[in-house]
A and B are shown apart, each in its own frame.
Chain A
Amino acid sequence: MKRNIFIVSFIVVMVLTGFFFLRSPETPSDEPQLASHPSLIEDQKVAADIQTPAPTKVDTPPLRSPAQVPTVPRKRITIEKLSPKEIEVQYQFNENYSLAKDIVAVPSKNYHPSQGPIFYKGIGFNFIRSSDSNLGQQLSIYDSKNQVLLPLSSVIKIANVDEFKRDEIISRGYKERLYLENLNLLFIETKISDYSAVFDRLKKEGFEPQFQIIDRIYEPR
């Protein structure tokens, strides 16, 4: 009996001693309240990596809660429903200009050869062909004679333009660059320095102008 009491007392002392050394500080301090034993930290790091294994799917974020997994489709819906090939074939609008689809402007510093060959080198941007539906599906005007992709900030796209409206717009002195009959889209050209004014005028005249700019890419700062 005495032996048992001794053993129990011994265990209680050991437990209390262990608790004393392992307990956290009772008052806040500037030091983070995390384990200080290097091997324990290493274990936690391993645990952290196990907790967030390298994902195999690109659209799986490092989430902790399954409820946050996005359910929306990643593919952007655009108004142009025709395939790039169909459009390119249908809308060759003169011998020099063609409508280029799936052109993506990649900031030069972010460009990597694995993204594909450079179609046109702009200032600060490399233009590449891309089949990525998130990035592509944008219309560009390509001057094949001079082998340049025209700066699209000088092009204004006007939506919902039928043949009648088209004639009306041109008769007001705007220079037509391209008309897409099936899509009811008219592209007009204007001087870069006054495109805001042209845009404002078109809006006041009751049209639906939109700028076509794909070489404007905002970056985190």
Chain B
Amino acid sequence: MKFLILLPLLFSCIPKSPKDTPLPKEPLVFDPLSAHAWHLENTGQDTFSDGYAVAGEDHKIKKVHELGFTGKGIKIAVSDNGVQVNHPDLEQNQLVNEHRNYRTIPPYKGDPVPEDIYRDSHGTSVTGLVSAVKGNTEGSYGVAPDSLFAGFNFLSLGYSHEIFLHQLTGDFNIFNYSYGLPEHLITGTYQSEVIDTLKQGVENGAVYVKAAGNGYYLTYEGTPIWSNANFEAEQTLPYYIVVGAINSRGIKSSYSSPGSNLWISGAGGEFGTSSPAMITTDLTGCSYGSAHKTTGKTAFDKGFDEANPYCDYTNTMNGTSSAAPVISGIIALMMEANPNLTWRDVKHILAKTADRVDYSELDNNLSHPKASFNLPGHIYDKKWIKNHAGNYFSNWYGFGRANALQAVLMASTYNFPLGTYLEETFTSAPLDLGIPSTAVGVTDSINVSSGVSKVESVQVRVNLEHTEAGDLGIELTSPHGTTSKLFLINSGAIVYPPTNNPEINLLSNAFYEENPQGNWTLKIIDGSSDHPGKFKGWSIKINGH
């Protein structure tokens, strides 16, 4: 009967469930969902969708990690609709004292709790893409898995100008903004205080990353609208790195807004149902967030898949909201490789090392998605253009898909070639020119004689008299003959606040490194003859060195 005394000891050795099993240490240094993160390394995985990625179409992030760069010590502010900072895959990388709860009083210190704790998972998913912990046996890991994040719940309350400005400030290397104004609106004007705050931020070493928008096609009250990243005036400020989304097959995500103000493209995926979206963190538990036992859009999100039994992760996160933190993470890797990089250096390296995706000389002209909205003799847009300085640029991709490996390698040996930054403005005389509904349109030129020898970006401010500015197409041609389409015809977008005399601010990165001296020509075309309008004047701002 003595063996009976040993029975409890013997049975205590039997593992109760795999979760309780004391696994060997080595295999545990593994994040089980990372194999499904196609943006880290694209092996052709399905990411729990019905479709497949195309192997190799990624940012080469895993290779950067293998070199030992993980964004260590880089501080990232994620200003969003709140973050579950104690998510098991995030908690370790949080800057505990840097979070901001904008529902309290200044200085807004506190837990960035979402407004709707059942549904507002966006900020938690965004944060996971950039800063989720690596090697903790939980979920996947971020692009910069050793970076440190602070969550702001800026989007969890009605707009306040004071708070908007406040969330642009702080001791952070990178600010990630996966938000924007409604894409059906043309909000042509920004506030000077925003410029001042952003300028101060970049001078202090910050880099601002902003989601371009998901308005390639949308409907507003039954009206089709083809949005443009240039519609949101604040995105026409050069201090932001505006990010478009690319999918797991290496082409523009179906929803990603085009725009001459795009700088770079990051992984955003599609929708996670018929083709891969992004794997990232979600509010924990099956009653919260996108991964929800009843409202989840996929078996994975409903917690039906054994890989996600607690619904702590989602496979349906997408959008330029996803692309922005992927780029923020890549910038963190670059800044770890070279802590002296400024916002302009970061932009330069991203542009110079990006992969030119989806390029074909034979298939470069784009038509308006709605055939009847094209204008005879007018090319709606071009997928890629090559400027006089030899740089390729696309309204769909900016300079292309970020190549983290090449960017980090260039950052490591960077010799800081950019000279002193200058911004110079040139203004036209008052105009009163009718805008014809033909491919010829109406043009005006401004002669630029500038201290800038290499353009970094060009801003344009256009004054119009028009009741339907969403009909218009606006193009800018440099002295060297490079043409950038700033506004595409017949977008259907609405000027807001409503006015018949809109002042529209636009930006183009297409002229990067061109010499700006000479005549710049602005051309305006009316895509519809239904609402005649006038071109009242314009100014051009040359930014560069």
Contact = CB atoms under 8 A, between A and B. Distances in A.
Q: Are A and B part of the same complex?
A: yes
A192 B17 CA distance: 66
A220 B81 contact: yes
A218 B32 contact: no
Contacts of B371: none
Contact of B285 (A62, A151, A154, A203): A62
B189 A124 contact: no
A195 interface: yes
Contact of B32 (A18, A32, A195, A213): A32
B499 A192 contact: yes
Given A24-B27, A28-B27, A74-B104, A34 B309 contact: yes
Contacts of A170: none
B484 to A, nearest CB: 24
Contacts of B324: 221
Interface in B470-514: 494, 496-499, 501-503
A24 B21 contact: yes
Interface string A52-65: 10110011111111
Given A24-B27, A105-B158, A193-B502, A49 B285 contact: yes
Given A68-B86, A221-B179, A221-B214, A51 B285 contact: yes
A41 B86 CA distance: 24
Interface stretch (B66-74, B105-113, B270-278, B373-381): B105-113
Contacts of B33: 32
A221 B306 contact: no
Interface residues of B, number: 94
Contact of A193 (B117, B463, B496): B463
Contacts of A186: none
A49 B182 CA distance: 35
B23 interface: yes
A23 B498 CA distance: 67
A31 B32 contact: yes
B284 A193 contact: no
B102 to A, nearest CB: 9
A48 interface: yes
A86 interface: no
B362 interface: no
Interface in B267-294: 283-288, 293
A20 B86 CA distance: 35
Contact of B157 (A18, A76, A196): A76
B459 to A, nearest CB: 14
B58 interface: no
Nearest to A220: B122
Q: Is the interface of B mostly helix, strand, loop or mixed?
A: loop
Contacts of A55: 117
Interface string B1-38: 11100110011011101110101100101101101000
Contacts of B498: 123, 151
A200 B321 CA distance: 32
A196 B191 contact: yes
Interface in B186-214: 187, 189-193, 211, 213-214
Interface in A7-66: 7-8, 11-12, 15, 18-19, 22-28, 30-36, 38, 40-41, 44-45, 48-49, 51-52, 54-55, 58-65
B23 A11 contact: no
Contacts of A65: 86
Nearest to A77: B105
B27 A32 contact: no
Contacts of B81: 220
B238 interface: no
A27 B463 CA distance: 65
B370 interface: no
Contacts of B319: 221
B9 to A, nearest CB: 10
Contacts of A24: 18, 21, 23, 27
B178 interface: yes
B252 to A, nearest CB: 15
A33 B161 CA distance: 47
Contacts of A195: 189
B3 A45 contact: no
Nearest to A33: B32
A160 interface: no
Contact of B14 (A4, A15, A52): A15
B189 A193 contact: yes
Interface string B34-53: 01000000000000000000
B192 A219 contact: no
B434 to A, nearest CB: 20
A34 B307 CA distance: 7
A214 B23 CA distance: 55
Nearest to A4: B3
Nearest to A151: B497
A52 B285 contact: yes
Given A8-B3, A27-B27, A48-B285, A72 B306 contact: no
Interface of B: 1-3, 6-7, 10-11, 13-15, 17-19, 21, 23-24, 27, 29-30, 32-33, 35, 80-81, 84-86, 88, 101, 103-105, 109-111, 113-115, 117, 122-123, 137, 154-155, 157-159, 161-162, 164, 178-182, 184-185, 187, 189-193, 211, 213-214, 220-221, 283-288, 293, 303, 306-307, 309-311, 319-321, 324, 463, 494, 496-499, 501-503
Given A28-B27, A48-B311, A62-B117, 10 more contacts: A24-B21, A44-B310, A52-B285, A71-B110, A151-B498, A193-B189, A200-B192, A203-B192, A213-B161, A218-B164
Closest 3 A-B residue pairs measured CB to CB? A52-B285, A32-B32, A72-B104
5 contacts: A4-B3, A22-B15, A35-B19, A45-B303, A51-B285
